[in-house]
């Protein structure tokens, strides 16, 4: 939660100043974070900032998890048809899903993984 607050404050401050003053804003944010012992959160703040900026520009963040590397060019083309023309795909590799794919767009999760299918089958068999 704290990283989101830092990112929101940074986003607002950067957009309130002239481009030539943005470095000063970043320096001040780094000083504040250092004083509070929060410099270790820098990567999280940067990630949250990127989400805010993408949202402001109408870019949907799509997280795709698969057991192995996918052809992201084809995937982006397909996702653009569903989600819209502006998508940013983050690919994750997780061999525990065995096969298939898990797609997350905002708060929507589509789990088309082999692991999920096997778990659903196990649950169905266990009910009988």
Instruction: Say whether both 64 and 32 belong to one domain.
Output: no
Residue 31 pLDDT: 92
Relative orientation angle of helices 22-35 and 2-16, to the nearest 10 degrees: 150
Burial of residue 80 (CB within 10 Å: 0-12, 13-18, 19+) is middle
| Pairing mode of beta strands 87-93, 108-113 | unpaired
Instruction: Say whether both 36 and 94 belong to one domain.
Output: no
Q: Left (φ > 0), alpha (ψ -120 to 50) or beta: where does 100 sit?
A: left
10-residue mean pLDDT profile of the chain (128 residues): values are 90 91 91 92 91 85 86 75 76 88 84 85 82
Residue 81 pLDDT: 78
Residue 22's SS3 state is: helix
Residue 90 pLDDT: 84
pTM: 0.60
d(CA 40, CA 123): 42
Instruction: Say whether both 51 and 80 belong to one domain.
Output: no
Instruction: Say whether both 44 and 71 belong to one domain.
Output: no
90, 63 Cβ separation under 8 angstroms: yes
- Say how many domains are in the chain: 2
Which residue among 56, 76, 97 closes a domain? Answer: 56
Residue 121 pLDDT: 84
Q: Left (φ > 0), alpha (ψ -120 to 50) or beta: where does 87 sit?
A: beta
Which residue among 56, 72, 94 closes a domain? Answer: 56
Owning domain of residue 91: 60-127
Bridge partners (DSSP) of residue 110 are 103
Instruction: Say whether both 122 and 64 belong to one domain.
Output: yes
């Amino acid at each position: 939660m704290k990283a989101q607050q830092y990112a929101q404050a940074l986003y607002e401050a950067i957009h309130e100043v002239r481009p030539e003053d943005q470095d000063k804003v970043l320096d001040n944010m780094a000083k504040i974070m250092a004083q509070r012992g929060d410099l270790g959160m820098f990567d999280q703040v940067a990630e949250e900032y990127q989400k805010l900026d993408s949202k402001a520009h109408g870019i949907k963040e799509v997280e795709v998890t698969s057991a192995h590397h996918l052809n992201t060019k084809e995937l982006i083309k397909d996702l653009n048809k569903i989600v819209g023309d502006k998508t940013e795909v983050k690919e994750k590799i997780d061999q525990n899903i065995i096969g298939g794919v898990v797609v997350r767009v905002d708060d929507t999760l589509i789990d088309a993984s082999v692991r999920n299918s096997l778990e659903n089958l196990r649950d169905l068999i266990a009910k009988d």
